[in-house]
A and B are shown apart, each in its own frame.
Chain A
Protein backbone atom coordinates (compact mmCIF):
# COMPACT_ATOMS: atom_id res chain seq x y z
CA UNK A 1 0.00 0.00 0.00
CA UNK A 2 1.56 3.22 -1.10
CA UNK A 3 1.29 6.50 0.86
CA UNK A 4 -1.54 7.80 -1.34
CA UNK A 5 -3.64 4.74 -0.71
CA UNK A 6 -2.83 4.95 2.96
CA UNK A 7 -3.97 8.57 3.00
CA UNK A 8 -7.23 7.56 1.33
CA UNK A 9 -7.81 4.85 3.87
CA UNK A 10 -7.17 7.28 6.72
CA UNK A 11 -9.62 9.77 5.17
CA UNK A 12 -12.21 7.04 4.80
CA UNK A 13 -11.73 6.12 8.45
CA UNK A 14 -12.14 9.75 9.50
CA UNK A 15 -15.30 10.00 7.35
CA UNK A 16 -16.62 6.86 9.01
CA UNK A 17 -15.82 8.15 12.49
CA UNK A 18 -17.49 11.49 11.79
CA UNK A 19 -20.58 9.85 10.36
CA UNK A 20 -20.81 7.47 13.30
CA UNK A 21 -20.44 10.32 15.82
CA UNK A 22 -23.04 12.37 13.99
CA UNK A 23 -25.42 9.41 14.08
CA UNK A 24 -24.90 8.89 17.80
CA UNK A 25 -25.52 12.56 18.47
CA UNK A 26 -28.58 12.55 16.22
CA UNK A 27 -30.02 9.55 18.05
CA UNK A 28 -29.48 11.26 21.39
CA UNK A 29 -31.23 14.37 20.11
CA UNK A 30 -34.09 12.29 18.71
CA UNK A 31 -34.49 10.61 22.11
CA UNK A 32 -34.50 13.97 23.86
CA UNK A 33 -37.08 15.30 21.40
CA UNK A 34 -39.24 12.24 21.97
CA UNK A 35 -38.96 12.80 25.71
CA UNK A 36 -39.88 16.44 25.23
CA UNK A 37 -42.94 15.41 23.21
CA UNK A 38 -43.93 12.90 25.89
CA UNK A 39 -43.50 15.58 28.53
CA UNK A 40 -45.61 17.95 26.44
CA UNK A 41 -48.34 15.30 26.11
CA UNK A 42 -48.22 14.66 29.85
CA UNK A 43 -48.40 18.40 30.50
CA UNK A 44 -51.43 18.76 28.23
CA UNK A 45 -53.09 15.81 29.97
CA UNK A 46 -52.36 17.32 33.37
CA UNK A 47 -53.75 20.67 32.21
CA UNK A 48 -56.91 18.97 30.99
CA UNK A 49 -57.26 17.17 34.31
CA UNK A 50 -56.74 20.43 36.16
CA UNK A 51 -59.32 22.11 33.97
CA UNK A 52 -61.80 19.27 34.55
CA UNK A 53 -61.18 19.35 38.30
CA UNK A 54 -61.66 23.13 38.31
CA UNK A 55 -64.95 22.88 36.42
CA UNK A 56 -66.21 20.04 38.59
CA UNK A 57 -65.31 21.94 41.75
CA UNK A 58 -66.95 25.12 40.52
CA UNK A 59 -70.13 23.28 39.47
CA UNK A 60 -70.30 21.37 42.76
CA UNK A 61 -69.67 24.56 44.69
CA UNK A 62 -72.48 26.33 42.86
CA UNK A 63 -74.87 23.39 43.19
CA UNK A 64 -74.31 23.01 46.91
CA UNK A 65 -74.01 26.69 47.75
CA UNK A 66 -77.51 26.92 49.20
CA UNK A 67 -77.29 23.83 51.36
CA UNK A 68 -73.84 24.83 52.63
CA UNK A 69 -75.12 28.31 53.42
CA UNK A 70 -77.92 26.61 55.32
CA UNK A 71 -75.34 24.72 57.39
CA UNK A 72 -73.33 27.88 58.06
CA UNK A 73 -76.44 29.68 59.25
CA UNK A 74 -77.17 26.84 61.69
CA UNK A 75 -73.61 26.46 62.98
CA UNK A 76 -74.04 28.84 65.96
CA UNK A 77 -77.10 26.90 67.14
CA UNK A 78 -75.36 23.57 66.59
CA UNK A 79 -72.29 24.65 68.52
CA UNK A 80 -74.41 26.17 71.27
CA UNK A 81 -75.22 22.80 72.84
CA UNK A 82 -72.31 20.36 72.88
CA UNK A 83 -72.88 18.45 76.13
CA UNK A 84 -75.73 16.94 78.09
CA UNK A 85 -75.04 19.35 80.95
CA UNK A 86 -75.50 22.34 78.65
CA UNK A 87 -78.84 20.98 77.46
CA UNK A 88 -80.00 20.39 81.05
CA UNK A 89 -78.85 23.83 82.15
CA UNK A 90 -80.69 25.44 79.26
CA UNK A 91 -83.91 23.63 80.23
CA UNK A 92 -83.56 24.59 83.89
CA UNK A 93 -82.83 28.19 82.99
CA UNK A 94 -85.84 28.33 80.70
CA UNK A 95 -88.13 26.88 83.38
CA UNK A 96 -86.83 29.36 85.93
CA UNK A 97 -87.00 32.41 83.69
CA UNK A 98 -90.48 31.55 82.42
CA UNK A 99 -91.77 31.11 85.94
CA UNK A 100 -92.74 27.45 85.63
CA UNK A 101 -92.89 26.53 89.28
CA UNK A 102 -94.80 23.28 89.13
CA UNK A 103 -92.64 20.74 87.40
CA UNK A 104 -94.25 17.41 88.12
CA UNK A 105 -91.45 15.36 86.64
CA UNK A 106 -88.32 15.85 84.66
CA UNK A 107 -86.03 13.19 83.31
CA UNK A 108 -83.08 13.41 80.96
CA UNK A 109 -81.28 10.49 79.47
CA UNK A 110 -78.51 10.13 76.98
CA UNK A 111 -79.05 8.28 73.75
CA UNK A 112 -76.14 6.95 71.70
CA UNK A 113 -76.41 6.50 67.94
CA UNK A 114 -73.40 4.51 66.81
CA UNK A 115 -74.40 4.57 63.16
CA UNK A 116 -74.86 8.31 63.01
CA UNK A 117 -71.50 10.05 62.87
CA UNK A 118 -72.96 13.53 62.73
CA UNK A 119 -75.24 13.04 65.74
CA UNK A 120 -73.51 10.30 67.75
CA UNK A 121 -75.29 11.33 70.93
CA UNK A 122 -78.50 13.05 71.86
CA UNK A 123 -80.28 13.97 75.05
CA UNK A 124 -83.86 12.81 75.53
CA UNK A 125 -85.77 15.02 77.94
CA UNK A 126 -89.16 14.08 79.27
CA UNK A 127 -90.97 16.45 81.58
CA UNK A 128 -94.39 17.25 82.83
CA UNK A 129 -95.29 20.77 83.87
CA UNK A 130 -98.47 22.35 85.12
CA UNK A 131 -99.07 26.06 84.82
CA UNK A 132 -101.34 28.68 83.36
CA UNK A 133 -102.23 28.41 79.70
CA UNK A 134 -100.07 31.36 78.58
CA UNK A 135 -97.07 30.33 80.66
CA UNK A 136 -97.15 26.77 79.39
CA UNK A 137 -97.28 27.74 75.74
CA UNK A 138 -94.77 30.53 76.20
CA UNK A 139 -92.39 28.11 77.87
CA UNK A 140 -92.79 25.71 74.96
CA UNK A 141 -91.91 28.50 72.55
CA UNK A 142 -89.02 29.57 74.74
CA UNK A 143 -87.45 26.12 74.93
CA UNK A 144 -87.79 25.76 71.16
CA UNK A 145 -86.05 29.10 70.78
CA UNK A 146 -83.26 28.24 73.21
CA UNK A 147 -82.76 24.78 71.78
CA UNK A 148 -83.57 25.33 68.12
CA UNK A 149 -82.09 22.01 67.05
CA UNK A 150 -84.19 20.05 69.53
CA UNK A 151 -86.84 17.84 68.04
CA UNK A 152 -90.15 17.79 69.94
CA UNK A 153 -91.28 14.20 69.84
CA UNK A 154 -94.42 14.34 71.91
CA UNK A 155 -96.39 17.31 73.19
CA UNK A 156 -99.56 16.50 75.06
CA UNK A 157 -101.67 19.21 76.63
CA UNK A 158 -104.54 18.41 78.93
CA UNK A 159 -106.45 20.15 81.67
CA UNK A 160 -104.63 20.79 84.92
CA UNK A 161 -105.64 20.36 88.51
CA UNK A 162 -107.51 23.66 88.47
CA UNK A 163 -109.59 25.33 85.78
CA UNK A 164 -106.99 27.89 84.82
CA UNK A 165 -104.11 25.51 84.60
CA UNK A 166 -102.84 23.23 81.85
CA UNK A 167 -100.78 20.15 82.19
CA UNK A 168 -98.23 19.56 79.48
CA UNK A 169 -96.24 16.40 78.91
CA UNK A 170 -93.30 17.03 76.64
CA UNK A 171 -90.65 14.75 75.30
CA UNK A 172 -87.93 16.11 73.11
CA UNK A 173 -84.58 15.09 71.74
CA UNK A 174 -81.65 17.50 71.75
CA UNK A 175 -78.94 16.39 69.34
CA UNK A 176 -75.28 16.74 70.23
CA UNK A 177 -73.73 17.33 66.84
CA UNK A 178 -70.15 16.22 66.22
CA UNK A 179 -69.14 18.04 63.05
CA UNK A 180 -65.46 17.17 63.44
CA UNK A 181 -66.13 13.44 63.41
CA UNK A 182 -68.35 13.85 60.39
CA UNK A 183 -65.43 15.43 58.52
CA UNK A 184 -63.70 12.09 58.46
CA UNK A 185 -66.62 10.58 56.65
CA UNK A 186 -66.16 12.18 53.27
CA UNK A 187 -68.69 10.69 50.97
CA UNK A 188 -69.71 11.58 47.48
CA UNK A 189 -72.83 13.68 47.54
CA UNK A 190 -75.22 14.19 44.74
CA UNK A 191 -76.57 17.71 45.14
CA UNK A 192 -80.25 17.67 45.96
CA UNK A 193 -82.76 20.47 45.91
CA UNK A 194 -82.08 22.49 49.01
CA UNK A 195 -84.63 22.10 51.77
CA UNK A 196 -85.88 25.43 52.95
CA UNK A 197 -86.12 24.86 56.66
CA UNK A 198 -86.82 27.69 58.99
CA UNK A 199 -87.92 27.47 62.53
CA UNK A 200 -91.34 29.01 62.30
Chain B
Protein backbone atom coordinates (compact mmCIF):
# COMPACT_ATOMS: atom_id res chain seq x y z
CA UNK B 1 0.00 0.00 0.00
CA UNK B 2 1.23 3.37 -0.91
CA UNK B 3 1.93 5.47 2.18
CA UNK B 4 0.92 8.67 0.51
CA UNK B 5 -2.46 7.37 -0.41
CA UNK B 6 -3.16 6.18 3.16
CA UNK B 7 -2.32 9.57 4.43
CA UNK B 8 -4.53 11.11 1.80
CA UNK B 9 -7.54 9.06 2.89
CA UNK B 10 -7.13 9.99 6.49
CA UNK B 11 -6.62 13.68 5.91
CA UNK B 12 -9.74 15.87 6.51
CA UNK B 13 -11.66 16.70 3.32
CA UNK B 14 -12.60 20.20 2.47
CA UNK B 15 -16.35 20.61 1.39
CA UNK B 16 -16.63 21.31 -2.23
CA UNK B 17 -20.20 22.78 -1.81
CA UNK B 18 -21.52 25.04 0.89
CA UNK B 19 -23.82 23.65 3.60
CA UNK B 20 -27.55 24.22 3.17
CA UNK B 21 -29.18 26.90 5.27
CA UNK B 22 -30.92 25.40 8.33
CA UNK B 23 -34.38 26.28 6.95
CA UNK B 24 -33.76 24.10 3.92
CA UNK B 25 -33.26 21.11 6.18
CA UNK B 26 -37.05 21.06 6.72
CA UNK B 27 -37.68 20.41 3.05
CA UNK B 28 -37.20 16.62 3.22
CA UNK B 29 -39.48 16.56 6.27
CA UNK B 30 -42.06 18.61 4.41
CA UNK B 31 -41.71 16.23 1.46
CA UNK B 32 -42.49 13.20 3.60
CA UNK B 33 -45.35 14.99 5.35
CA UNK B 34 -46.74 16.07 1.95
CA UNK B 35 -46.32 12.57 0.62
CA UNK B 36 -48.24 11.04 3.54
CA UNK B 37 -50.82 13.82 3.49
CA UNK B 38 -51.44 13.54 -0.23
CA UNK B 39 -51.66 9.76 0.01
CA UNK B 40 -54.24 10.10 2.81
CA UNK B 41 -56.27 12.76 1.00
CA UNK B 42 -56.21 10.87 -2.29
CA UNK B 43 -57.23 7.63 -0.61
CA UNK B 44 -60.09 9.33 1.16
CA UNK B 45 -61.06 11.09 -2.06
CA UNK B 46 -61.04 7.79 -3.89
CA UNK B 47 -63.47 6.23 -1.39
CA UNK B 48 -65.59 9.38 -1.33
CA UNK B 49 -65.64 9.40 -5.12
CA UNK B 50 -66.78 5.78 -5.24
CA UNK B 51 -69.42 6.44 -2.58
CA UNK B 52 -70.66 9.59 -4.34
CA UNK B 53 -70.77 7.78 -7.65
CA UNK B 54 -72.84 4.96 -6.14
CA UNK B 55 -75.11 7.45 -4.38
CA UNK B 56 -75.61 9.32 -7.64
CA UNK B 57 -76.44 6.17 -9.60
CA UNK B 58 -78.83 4.99 -6.85
CA UNK B 59 -80.53 8.37 -6.73
CA UNK B 60 -80.89 8.44 -10.50
CA UNK B 61 -82.41 4.98 -10.47
CA UNK B 62 -84.84 6.03 -7.72
CA UNK B 63 -85.69 9.16 -9.65
CA UNK B 64 -86.35 7.21 -12.84
CA UNK B 65 -88.47 4.67 -10.98
CA UNK B 66 -90.43 7.39 -9.19
CA UNK B 67 -91.00 9.29 -12.41
CA UNK B 68 -92.21 6.14 -14.14
CA UNK B 69 -94.61 5.41 -11.31
CA UNK B 70 -95.73 9.06 -11.19
CA UNK B 71 -96.48 8.98 -14.93
CA UNK B 72 -98.32 5.72 -14.45
CA UNK B 73 -100.47 7.25 -11.69
CA UNK B 74 -101.10 10.33 -13.81
CA UNK B 75 -102.19 8.17 -16.73
CA UNK B 76 -104.46 6.18 -14.44
CA UNK B 77 -105.97 9.39 -13.07
CA UNK B 78 -106.43 10.70 -16.58
CA UNK B 79 -108.29 7.50 -17.51
CA UNK B 80 -110.39 7.79 -14.38
CA UNK B 81 -111.20 11.40 -15.21
CA UNK B 82 -112.27 10.40 -18.68
CA UNK B 83 -114.43 7.59 -17.32
CA UNK B 84 -115.92 9.88 -14.67
CA UNK B 85 -116.70 12.51 -17.30
CA UNK B 86 -118.52 9.95 -19.38
CA UNK B 87 -120.29 8.62 -16.32
CA UNK B 88 -121.43 12.13 -15.35
CA UNK B 89 -122.81 12.72 -18.84
CA UNK B 90 -124.53 9.33 -18.95
CA UNK B 91 -125.99 9.97 -15.49
CA UNK B 92 -127.19 13.37 -16.61
CA UNK B 93 -128.90 11.78 -19.62
CA UNK B 94 -130.42 8.96 -17.60
CA UNK B 95 -131.72 11.44 -15.04
CA UNK B 96 -133.99 12.70 -17.81
CA UNK B 97 -134.82 9.24 -19.17
CA UNK B 98 -136.71 7.72 -16.28
CA UNK B 99 -139.57 5.47 -17.23
CA UNK B 100 -142.88 7.13 -17.89
CA UNK B 101 -145.03 4.03 -18.11
CA UNK B 102 -145.29 3.63 -14.30
CA UNK B 103 -146.65 7.18 -14.13
CA UNK B 104 -149.31 6.44 -16.69
CA UNK B 105 -150.23 3.20 -14.91
CA UNK B 106 -150.40 4.93 -11.51
CA UNK B 107 -152.68 7.62 -12.90
CA UNK B 108 -154.95 5.04 -14.51
CA UNK B 109 -155.17 2.98 -11.35
CA UNK B 110 -155.69 5.93 -9.02
CA UNK B 111 -159.04 7.02 -10.46
CA UNK B 112 -162.33 5.39 -9.62
CA UNK B 113 -164.51 3.78 -12.24
CA UNK B 114 -167.10 6.57 -12.18
CA UNK B 115 -164.49 9.14 -13.20
CA UNK B 116 -163.47 9.28 -16.81
CA UNK B 117 -160.05 10.40 -18.00
CA UNK B 118 -160.30 11.74 -21.51
CA UNK B 119 -156.68 12.67 -21.95
CA UNK B 120 -153.36 12.19 -20.25
CA UNK B 121 -150.32 13.97 -21.60
CA UNK B 122 -146.83 13.66 -20.23
CA UNK B 123 -144.23 15.93 -21.74
CA UNK B 124 -140.63 16.29 -20.69
CA UNK B 125 -139.21 19.71 -20.15
CA UNK B 126 -136.58 20.64 -22.74
CA UNK B 127 -134.51 22.56 -20.22
CA UNK B 128 -134.86 20.13 -17.31
CA UNK B 129 -135.66 16.71 -18.79
CA UNK B 130 -136.11 15.20 -15.35
CA UNK B 131 -139.23 17.33 -14.93
CA UNK B 132 -142.41 16.20 -16.65
CA UNK B 133 -145.34 18.41 -17.53
CA UNK B 134 -148.52 16.51 -16.74
CA UNK B 135 -151.87 17.33 -18.26
CA UNK B 136 -155.00 15.36 -17.40
CA UNK B 137 -158.49 15.99 -18.68
CA UNK B 138 -161.08 14.23 -16.64
CA UNK B 139 -164.73 14.47 -15.78
CA UNK B 140 -166.74 13.05 -12.97
CA UNK B 141 -168.37 14.00 -9.72
CA UNK B 142 -165.37 13.69 -7.42
CA UNK B 143 -162.67 15.23 -9.51
CA UNK B 144 -160.87 16.93 -6.60
CA UNK B 145 -160.65 13.67 -4.69
CA UNK B 146 -159.46 11.86 -7.77
CA UNK B 147 -156.75 14.42 -8.39
CA UNK B 148 -155.63 14.12 -4.77
CA UNK B 149 -155.51 10.35 -5.21
CA UNK B 150 -153.46 10.77 -8.40
CA UNK B 151 -151.01 13.07 -6.64
CA UNK B 152 -150.71 10.61 -3.76
CA UNK B 153 -150.13 7.74 -6.19
CA UNK B 154 -147.44 9.71 -7.99
CA UNK B 155 -145.88 10.47 -4.62
CA UNK B 156 -145.26 6.75 -4.29
CA UNK B 157 -143.08 7.04 -7.39
CA UNK B 158 -141.25 9.92 -5.68
CA UNK B 159 -142.81 12.52 -7.94
CA UNK B 160 -144.11 15.74 -6.44
CA UNK B 161 -146.62 17.92 -8.25
CA UNK B 162 -145.28 21.42 -8.63
CA UNK B 163 -147.56 24.35 -9.51
CA UNK B 164 -150.74 22.31 -9.98
CA UNK B 165 -153.54 24.15 -11.72
CA UNK B 166 -157.12 23.19 -12.40
CA UNK B 167 -159.41 24.78 -14.90
CA UNK B 168 -162.95 23.74 -15.51
CA UNK B 169 -164.16 23.65 -19.07
CA UNK B 170 -167.77 22.53 -18.97
CA UNK B 171 -167.85 19.06 -17.46
CA UNK B 172 -164.19 18.52 -18.08
CA UNK B 173 -161.59 19.55 -15.54
CA UNK B 174 -158.17 20.25 -16.97
CA UNK B 175 -155.38 19.57 -14.55
CA UNK B 176 -151.85 20.80 -15.21
CA UNK B 177 -148.80 20.30 -13.07
CA UNK B 178 -145.09 19.69 -13.30
CA UNK B 179 -143.88 16.44 -11.88
CA UNK B 180 -140.61 16.93 -10.08
CA UNK B 181 -138.65 13.90 -9.05
CA UNK B 182 -137.67 13.93 -5.40
CA UNK B 183 -134.41 12.57 -4.09
CA UNK B 184 -134.41 8.87 -3.24
Say whether A and B bind each other: yes
Q: Which residues of A contact B (CB under 8 A)?
A: 2-5, 8, 11-12, 14-15, 18-19, 21-22, 25-26, 28-29, 32-33, 35-36, 39-40, 42-43, 46-47, 49-50, 53-54, 56-57, 60-61, 64, 67-68, 70-71, 74, 78, 118-119, 133, 137, 140-141, 144, 148-159, 175, 177, 179, 182-183, 185-189, 191-192, 194-197, 199-200
In the complex, A94 Cα to B59 Cα: how many Å? Answer: 67
Q: Which of B1-9, B78-86, B171-179 contacts A (4 or more CB under 8 A)?
A: B78-86
In the complex, A44 Cα to B146 Cα: how many Å? Answer: 73
Nearest chain-A residue to B99 (Cβ)?
A144
Ordered by A's residue number, 8 sampled pairs between the chains whose C-beta atoms are within 8 Å are A14-B31, A32-B49, A53-B70, A53-B73, A137-B108, A155-B121, A156-B119, A191-B84
In the complex, A149 Cα to B92 Cα: how many Å? Answer: 11
In the complex, A32 Cα to B129 Cα: how many Å? Answer: 67
Q: Which residues of A contact B67 (CB under 8 A)?
A: 46, 49-50
In the complex, A175 Cα to B92 Cα: how many Å? Answer: 13
Whether the Cβ atoms of B83 and A71 lie closer than 8 Å is yes
Known A4-B19, A156-B122; 7 more pairs at CB < 8 Å = A28-B45, A33-B52, A39-B59, A49-B70, A54-B73, A61-B80, A149-B94
Does B164 interact with chain A (Cβ within 8 Å)? no
Whether the Cβ atoms of B100 and A155 lie closer than 8 Å is yes
In the complex, A68 Cα to B30 Cα: how many Å? Answer: 79
Whether the Cβ atoms of A159 and B98 lie closer than 8 Å is no
Q: Which residues of A contact B160 (CB under 8 A)?
A: none
Q: Which residues of A contact B20 (CB under 8 A)?
A: 4-5, 8
Tally chain B residues at the interface, Cβ within 8 Å.
72
Whether the Cβ atoms of B89 and A118 lie closer than 8 Å is yes
1/0 contact trace for B75-112 toward A, CB 8 Å? Answer: 01110111111111111111111111110110010000
CB distance from B143 to the nearest CB of A (A): 18
Whether the Cβ atoms of A195 and B95 lie closer than 8 Å is yes
CB distance from A63 to the nearest CB of B (A): 9
Whether the Cβ atoms of B63 and A42 lie closer than 8 Å is yes
In the complex, A21 Cα to B120 Cα: how many Å? Answer: 101
In the complex, A60 Cα to B158 Cα: how many Å? Answer: 31
Q: Which residues of A contact B94 (CB under 8 A)?
A: 74, 149, 195, 197, 199
CB distance from B130 to the nearest CB of A (A): 9
Task: Name the one of B28, B66, B95 contacting A50, with C-beta atoms under 8 angstroms.
Answer: B66
CB distance from A120 to the nearest CB of B (A): 12
Whether the Cβ atoms of A189 and B45 lie closer than 8 Å is no
Task: Name the one of A18, A68, A148, A175 contacting B87, with C-beta atoms under 8 angstroms.
Answer: A68
Known: A5-B20, A53-B70, A141-B101. A40 touches B55 (CB 8 A): yes
**B residues 42-70 touching A (CB-CB < 8 Å):** 42, 45, 48-49, 52-53, 55-56, 59-60, 62-63, 66-67, 69-70
Does B34 interact with chain A (Cβ within 8 Å)? yes
